[in-house]
Structure 1
């Protein structure tokens, strides 16, 4: 157990932040999964900007790495371009 007040507070803050970050990361993963599952190009093109915005926000706040966001956006763009 922590011996200092500040370390106890830090543990509390870390728990809260972790829960917050997990929620947004999971939401992002679900959105990406949903977009990848689409087979209609028109629908995918409509959904892509919102997913892209979500990825950029998460990268900006360091919930995911900026290169990971770039890689996901790139692979999603390729997926949409391959749709007929």
Structure 2
């Protein structure tokens, strides 16, 4: 355990960021699950832009990989179009 003031601050900041990232990632996964389970095309089309926005934000902040976000967006768009 570090004793420097800056190191202690960094430990606190890292924990706060970890919790925030975990929350955002879990929220995105729940939104994905909800969108995949959707049967109604109209409601799926209204949900799609918000889920894509979530994916883009997570990719921008390096919470998920950019290619993973692209793959998920592609698959979701295909699924909604096929409804």
Give the TM-score taking structure 2 as reference length.
Answer: 0.91
Greater alpha carbon shift after TM alignment, 3-12 vs 27-36: 3-12
Q: Which runs of 4+ in 1 moved over 4 A?
A: none
The equivalent residue for 1:59 is: 59
Question: Counterparts of 1:72-83 in structure 2 under 5 Å?
Answer: 72-83=72-83
1:14 is aligned to 2:20: no
* Cα distance in 2 for residues equivalent to 1:16 and 1:53: 23
1:33 is displaced (CA, Å) by 0.6
* Cα distance in 2 for residues equivalent to 1:13 and 1:46: 36
Question: Counterparts of 1:22-33 in structure 2 under 5 Å?
Answer: 22-33=22-33
**Considering only aligned residues, what root-mean-square deviation do their CA atoms show, in Å?**
1.1
* Cα distance in 1 for residues equivalent to 2:9 and 2:57: 27
Count of aligned pairs between the two proteins: 83
The equivalent residue for 2:46 is: 46
The equivalent residue for 1:4 is: 4
